[in-house]
Amino acid sequence: MDGATRNLVRRRADNRCEYCRLRQEHSHLAHHVEHVVARQHGGPDDLDNLALACHRCNLCKGPNLTGFDRGSGRIVALFHPRRDRWTEHSAWRGPRIEGLTATGRATVLVLAMNDARRVELRAEILGRGEVG
């Protein structure tokens, strides 16, 4: 993937993780341009399959396309940044992210969006009066 493509993905995402919404400037590690559908599953390098992800979301997501929704007891598709709207599947509850749908709940769980350090970081950002 060339630098122009990476820059386009970053600009399109406004330098914000497309999964947990963490802004690049709030992270010590560079956000990654990741494949929504991993290459090992046949995912292409085209823009419709690329998303900006913080280090933690990218690490937790890996090649996963699905996750378990405890609410319905079903395996469901994870949030897809090119097809899904974040606000339809997730909502802020203070520094925590709440899944509103089966997809949202599974994504929050698989990507460990509410692990202690991530909630602590969001609380610090909110405490400074900055938007997460």
Dump pLDDT digits (tens) for 67-110.
999 999 999 999 999 999 999 999 999 999 999 999 999 999 99
pLDDT for 127 equals: 87
Structure confidence at residue 132 (pLDDT): 56
Domain boundaries, the chain: 3-127
For residue 67, which of 10, 12, 19 has the smallest C-alpha distance? 19
The whole-number average pLDDT for the span 48-66 is 97
User: Which whole number is the average pLDDT over 40-49?
Assistant: 95
On whether the pTM is more than 0.85, the answer is yes
Pairing of strands 74-77, 66-69: antiparallel
Tell which residue, 55, 132, 24, 125, has the closest CA to residue 86. 132
